[in-house]
Chains A and B, each alone.
Chain A
Amino acid sequence: MLAVRDLTKRFRGPNNEVRALDGVSFDLAPGDFLAIQGTSGSGKTTLLLACGALQRPDGGSISIEGQNPYALSAEERTRFRARHIGFVFQQFHLIPYLTVLENVLSPLLALDDAGAKARALELLQRFRIQDRADHLPAHLSTGERQRTALARALLHRPKLILADEPTGNLDAQNADAVIDGLRELAAQGTAILMVTHDNRLAARAGRTLAMERGKWKVAG
């Protein structure tokens, strides 16, 4: 499903070079739920964006469903993301002027799909936000916002979910609800890569890895 080999990424800082990724390798099979932990600045987001075909690495290789997204043209890579990857972020990144339902449907701007409307309504039911369908994000609780973002990520039924601290802004109860959702997806065969600070929530994932200065922390 996802195969990452020797991934490296450097950023040029003001006076030094940051090795955000320094030889990271791992595999993710369908149904895998991998939690990545690590201190701030250890390279977790960089890894996630690289896996999400959003941040071209300097070295190493990434294969998603047998395809290297960085070998594609920019246009194709964009389409590739729409088809194969669902994103969830700590800041939700909902579009403020669209309702919950519209936000969930917004991936249609990237990829048209006849069954999407019905699926969106199902997703709202599944994440218990069907009553909020016509509300704007500003009127939602943080838990509802993240569940809306999760529903959006699932609209095109991606094989890979990339979640960057999806529970970072949530209380324990809402965080558990999100993890429940992800576990359910994994159980249905979706591969999930989740970044989190929270040990308790990381423990609820199928597998945990820790990062430190762009590398896996040994004996993790």
Chain B
Amino acid sequence: MSTLGLVLREIRHRNLNFLLGVLAVAAAGASLAGAMTRLEAHRAGTERILAEREAATSERLAKLNDDIRKITLIQQFNIVILHKDQDLNAFLARHEARTMPESYVETLAQSDLTAINHLEPSLTEMIDWPEQNNSALILTGVRGEVPLRLLDAKKPFNQPVPKGSAVMGAVSAQVAGVKAGGNVTILGRAFKVAKVHEARGNSDDTTAWIHLAEAQDLLKKPGMINAMKALNCGCTTEELKLIPGKIQAVLPGVKAILDMPKAVNRTASLERAERETREAMQAEKDGRARLGRELESAAALVVPLVAVASALWLAVLAFLNVRARREEIGILRAIGVRSGKILAMFMLRAVALGLLGGALGYAAGFLSGWWWGQSADVAGALDYRSVFSAPCAALVLGGGPLLAALASWLPALSASMRDPAEMLRLE
């Protein structure tokens, strides 16, 4: 008959008291383990959410960076479209140009070329100006810019020159001795001078711009043009190289000459996107931290409350147990069992109760904290290993017996100190 054997027999005998005590310890253990596991789940969930978010963010940032790199290299360019057999030297030196149908403009406009917004078709020819002693005049017929994209229709176009009007370069105006508002005759047709440009120091100065239809008429090239120009087109570097080929694919009779590709920096908006992405990440972090603090303060309130309640409950149960065992304690003392052994009996019982309650409470707390963490958290399923904490297990499994021992201490001590004679006299 060992002390432990006696304790185990007593537990089996008064199992209700014992089970109620186990439940009290289990409640305290479950609340602690549950809270700690929930916090652990929060931590694991946060880790995962942030890792996912981090991955998504860096993916997005990588894409942004890629976009930035591409967009940084966006090109602005001008394009000149000429007849495919046009000799460039002749075109540039003497403004001699082979003609092509004006309908090319519409053909190109209906193509799916996105890089070109609008085209300015023209018919240019260097003539001897009969009305001015056959001095050289570059006569250019224009009809303004033709929008290729409806979206861009609102852009201010180069104004067409109205029929019956002429826009004069500085030199040609001087040759004719006219000013804006005056009249000028070209190839026998009179034009009202709509505007005289300032001297530009290039061939524009000896140019006269009139309406395309009138130029076609005067130059006897109806329905024909010899150049199409587009200014300030935009596309990425990769696209840029393909543009002449694409134009030539749409219009096999032309050659397209790119002019002045120029990189444009448009990174500012992307930097903002990057900053916003980082801010969203930080907001998520802050949100998780705030939720974590809320959980912690809730746990800091609930766990001690449950622990105190269960300690009181355990003390009451221990007191009732001692009360029920007065006779037994009296006889054990009478037959010579030391008071220390009586105390040990009660403390062993408390420890057994605490171990069992702690284990049950830990299991219940761990499972519910785990489950709660998974269902309440956006993180989804969490591996049990990610929410397991050895310190938590140790705390609950060690704390259970400690709680039970502390709560039972006073009743047990009083039981061991009671006068056996008094207990033996009880009826």
Contacts and interface: CB of A to CB of B under 8 A. Distances in A.
Interface of A: 45, 49, 52, 54-55, 74-75, 78-83, 87, 89, 91, 93-98, 102, 105-111, 152-153
B10 interface: yes
A109 B345 CA distance: 11
Contacts of B330: 93
Contact of A105 (B1, B9, B14, B425): B1
A75 B339 CA distance: 8
Contact of B1 (A54, A80, A82, A106): A106
Nearest to A110: B336
B421 interface: yes
Q: Is the interface of A mostly helix, strand, loop or mixed?
A: helix
Contact of A106 (B13, B335, B420, B427): B335
Most buried by B among A55, A102, A109: A109
B336 A111 contact: yes
Contacts of B427: 91
A123 B211 CA distance: 140
B13 A109 contact: no
A125 B10 CA distance: 27
B96 interface: no
Candidate in B12, B421, B425 with the most chain A CB atoms within 10 angstroms: B421
A83 B336 contact: yes
B174 to A, nearest CB: 131
B420 A109 contact: no
Given A91-B327, A102-B1, A107 B421 contact: no
Please give me the 3 A-B residue pairs with the lowest Cβ-Cβ distance, nearest first. Answer: A82-B336, A97-B13, A110-B336
Interface of B: 1, 3, 6, 9-10, 12-14, 327-328, 330-339, 341, 420-421, 424-425, 427
20 contacts: A54-B333, A78-B336, A78-B337, A78-B338, A83-B336, A87-B334, A93-B330, A93-B334, A95-B328, A95-B332, A96-B328, A97-B12, A98-B9, A102-B1, A105-B1, A107-B336, A109-B6, A110-B332, A110-B336, A152-B335
B373 to A, nearest CB: 43
A91 B427 CA distance: 8
A55 B333 CA distance: 12
A102 B13 CA distance: 14
A54 B329 CA distance: 13
B143 to A, nearest CB: 115
Given A54-B424, A97-B9, A78 B332 contact: no
Contacts of B331: 87, 89, 93-95
A153 B333 CA distance: 13
Given A78-B336, A98-B9, A109 B341 contact: yes
Contacts of A110: 332, 335-338, 341
B328 to A, nearest CB: 5
Given A89-B424, A98-B6, A109-B3, A52 B332 contact: no
A52 B334 contact: yes
A193 to B, nearest CB: 14
Contacts of A111: 336
Contact of A87 (B9, B12, B14, B335): B335
Contacts of B338: 75, 78-79, 110
B313 to A, nearest CB: 23
B421 A82 contact: no
Contacts of A91: 327, 427
B421 A49 contact: yes
B273 to A, nearest CB: 76
Given A49-B421, A89-B424, 15 more contacts: A49-B424, A78-B333, A81-B336, A87-B334, A91-B327, A93-B327, A97-B14, A98-B9, A102-B1, A102-B9, A106-B1, A109-B1, A109-B335, A110-B338, A152-B335
Contacts of A152: 335
B327 to A, nearest CB: 6
B339 A78 contact: yes
A153 to B, nearest CB: 8
A107 B341 CA distance: 13
A107 B335 contact: yes
A200 to B, nearest CB: 25
Contacts of A79: 336, 338
Contacts of B335: 81-82, 87, 106-107, 109-110, 152-153
A212 to B, nearest CB: 20
Given A93-B330, A110-B336, A54 B341 contact: no
